[in-house]
Structure 1
């Protein structure tokens, strides 16, 4: 039973998050560089300037977490990587892969009314999300056959 793997990553969030992360780094580095003595009498030390740069890096890292989601599906099951954490789900546990009306992303339906969100398949991606869902369902049909 030879089935091709399906790998999906969100598109639109990547196009937005990467420039925002770069902008945060540049702005905080610039502010950190320009921090000196102010007319109000506040004195900024080198440690304050460094802290501004580090804060920019931390914020940019947080924004880049939004680009982390990925879905890998193969003959053995699904590997769902969301912003924090990765789950491997065997096909035997998967009751369905759905995209509820109005939901921001797809989800894997599990036994006992549980589900795992698939943040890699996002509604904002439009046709890309539709293609991903079709590929995933086709893979499931191939495996079940």
Structure 2
């Protein structure tokens, strides 16, 4: 053990607002896969001569439906601006004032960031997820945490 006190690195400066956090690689994979599925199913529908026009339409509709599901899964994002944060998840959107966010958490093993809120609940923010790009998610979580800490600090706290 050393006699010197441990030195904690200085917190990073928060990014300029507005800023959008979204899982870029995951989004790219989902949209690319969805498009590829749509193209392949549509091509199969057009190449199979024994299909009736109604069956071809159902193939194309199925491909479009699968692409829509992939696009829905690629939807999550977190948008921070001067007034607060908008969390867009797969099927919902929630607007939060900075004062509502008590803590930004991304613990080892978490599938995405969780926001601890002033009403005692926790909100999943799927727009920051370490699935494919862990380092990016950690950096984004730290940036959002820095923004939340600077925006919710009371005047005179020295932050």
TM-score exceeds 0.5: yes
Q: Which has the higher contact order (CA 8 A, sep 6+)?
A: 1
Is 1:137–2:145 an aligned residue pair? yes
TM-score by length of 2: 0.78
Report the counterpart of residue 77 of structure 1 in structure 2: 84
- Tell me which protein shows more strand as a share of its residues: 1
Is 1:30 aligned to 2:38, yes or no? Answer: no
Q: Give ranges in structure 1 of 5+ residues lacking alignment.
A: 38-43
Q: How does 1:6-17 map to 2 (within 5 A)?
A: 6-17=19-30
The residue that corresponds to 1:40 in the other structure is none
| Alignment RMSD | 1.7
User: Where is the helix percentage greater, Structure 1 or Structure 2?
Assistant: 1
CA deviation vs aligned residue, 1:74-109 (integer Å, no higher than 9, x gap) = 232110001111100112221211113311100111
- After TM superposition, where is structure 1 displaced by more than 4 Å over at least 4 residues in a row? none
1:133 and 1:23 map into 2 onto residues whose CA distance is 31
For the 8 Å contact 1:6–1:136, the answer to whether it is kept is: no
TM-score, structure 1 as length reference = 0.85
**Match in the other structure for 1:104:** 111
Aligned residues: 137
Stretches of structure 2 lacking an aligned partner (at least 5 in a row) = 1-15, 154-158
